[in-house]
Structure 1
Amino acid sequence: MFYGAVVWDPWLIVAQIVCLQCLYYVTLGIVFGVLVGTRVSRMSLFYFFDFAAVTASTITGWCVIGAFFLSSLAGAGYLLFLVERAKKCLDFSATLYIIHLFICVVYGGWPSTFTWWIVNITGLAIMALLGEYLCIKRELREIPITRFRPNV
């Protein structure tokens, strides 16, 4: 993709946001299945969207926290393939977490625990910074032009 002529395409941006959000929740669900699903008798949306599930006082709570962090790491990889630009990583990461906050408020009320805020702000930072790092590494790769080089 060439980045010289930047055209504002709102449908592309909405599609990227929807894809990123869906991939994040699919990854979160898979990681919850591995880490939390073995510890509880029944998985539910409680672990996704209720702030009470994010607690440092139980082992299951620590598994939930770990799942959120692992999903943030995967989200950075998704930014690399969906967004492809380092300067947009913070925007898309913040949008993902703002949408997540909105869903959490609708599902379980305003998050009132300090742990929930720390986990989500740290997850946002991990996703944005690692996504920017990965995108910068890709943007700064050399362009191979071996077919134009004369044989020596």
Structure 2
Amino acid sequence: MFYGTVVWDPWLIVAQIVCIQCLYYITLGVFMGVFVGTRVSKLSLVYFFDFATVTLSTVTGWCVIASFILSSVAGAGILLYLIERAKKCLDFAATLYIIHLFICILYGGWPSSITWWVVNGTGLAVMALLGEYLCIQRELREIPISRLRSSV
């Protein structure tokens, strides 16, 4: 089977979505622990899913924003290793942020903060574009050909 041929495998796609979502929240948790956990007495899911914590008016809000942006950069690396194709990066990044939006709606209601939308839109753009760039760089690498040829 050639590299360019596409096989429709819905279970693989669902598994990739679940893996990307889990790894994104793990990296977000690490960054939240480093940046926000040092500033608050108790780190909770409010900082992950409540739109009110994404604010420019407090230092903790800036730390939350930095955590989200750095997690999107880490998400680009996740796309590089789990998806491996540049043309699929936007699809998987958008799926991640749409699922995140639904979780945020279930947790704290419709995000009415412009800051929340700007941060998540920027995170989506960073993850998709950086993931595509990294995948293109990998796809454009030369294929090593062994110098050991059979002599005829």
Normalised TM-score (structure 2): 0.96
Q: Partners of 1:52 and 1:2 in 2: how far apart? A: 48
**1:52-91 map, 5 Å:** 52-91=52-91
Give the count of matched residue pairs: 151
Instruction: Please tell me the root mean square deviation across aligned C-alpha atoms, in Å.
Output: 1.5
Partner Cα separation in structure 2 for residue 58 and residue 148 of structure 1: 63
| SS at structure 2 position matched to 1:18 | helix
Listed as ranges, the matches of 1:3-152 within 5 Å are 3-148=3-148
Q: Sequence identity of aligned pairs in percent?
A: 78
TM-score of the two chains, using structure 1 as the length reference: 0.96
SS in 2 for 1:146: coil
Distance 1:147 1:12 in 2: 36
Q: CA offset at residue 20 of structure 1? A: 0.2
Shift of 1:3: 1.9
Tell me, in whole angstroms, the C-alpha distance in 2 between the residues paired with 1:148 and 1:6.
Answer: 32
* Gap regions ≥5 residues in structure 1: none
1:5 Cα deviation after fit: 2.3
C-alpha separation in 1, matches of 2:2 and 2:29: 35
Deviation at 1:146, TM superposition (A): 2.5
Q: CA deviation at 1:2?
A: 4.4
Deviations 1:83-135 (A, max 9, x none): 00000000000000000000000000000000000000000000000000000
Letter in 2 for 1:116: W
Which residues of structure 2 form unaligned runs of 5+?
Answer: none
Q: Quick one: structure 1 residues 143 and 39, their matched pair in 2 at CA, closer, same or farther if it must change by over 3 Å? A: same
